[in-house]
Structure 1
Amino acid sequence: MTLLGNFQLKSNELIHNVGTSMTFGFGTIACWIQSILTFKINIKNEGKITGIPRVILSATITVCVIIYFIFERQKLHIYAPRVQWVLVMCFITFFGTLAVEFRHCRFEIICVENQQHQEIFHSMSENMSDMSEYQTDQL
């Protein structure tokens, strides 16, 4: 999507068309694969609840890709960018549905003290604590 947004059709047609093909072609395939995997894996019995909107979005994306390439083939350059915007919004909505799986993930940060640089970090932490004391007074 970055290639599409940064290289408009008039400025560099080749890069724009490569970006369009990669984003909408491979992106559509990735959406369908993710939709199928959602039903098969069924994390915590949420597969159907999440899978149905993903299939609907994947079908909408597929139809829009077909319409987009029809408009491009017929040289209807007025309507093609509108379909591109619909595609981008559908992709972003599809990515938003991935939050269901990510809410089950837990991340943990483990800090390990390095003996060689212990003095440097110790002095830095003292400086930071001094700075934080001054900042709380200013609030």
Structure 2
Amino acid sequence: MIRIAVGAVVQCGDRYLLVNKKKINDTQNGEGIEIDEWDIPKGGVKEQDQSLEEAVLRELHEETGSSSFELKDKFEEKIVFDFPVELKSIIGFDKQETTMFFAEYVGDGGDLSPIDEEIGEIKFVTEEEFVEIVHHCETVEFLKKNVWN
């Protein structure tokens, strides 16, 4: 079974927005799983989302507390990956297909405070820092191919 998701590469000047994910709540038992990884804002599309654009704006707001984002583009390529074996039975999905958007942060930084308990910290990083700390190699490879080429 494939989880349909959305994600955003968010830029502010020459920096990129990252969130420190502390928990995965989308589990079949509802208990969640503790994690500690840096990634771009992304998450599953929900039934109430009217469009992928609405879904990514919702995810951005949940994970950053801000609505100060302008969607600039939707990438043709998606990030697709298999979940680790130990997660598949817990979350009920074998893989994830993430439609990616490019967005610009237009706020002043004062509105960045996660409202989602899954997020511990938010920060903007350089391209070099991004490559060093982002947990998922698929995300780094996506940016190398589609943003930094």
Say whether the fold is shared (TM-score over 0.5).
Answer: no
With a CA cutoff of 8 Å and minimum separation of 6, indicate the structure with the bigger relative contact order: 2
Larger helix fraction of residues: 1
Larger Rg, first or second structure (1 or 2) = 1
Query: TM-score, normalized by length of structure 2?
Result: 0.20
Larger strand fraction of residues: 2
Query: TM-score, normalized by length of structure 1?
Result: 0.20
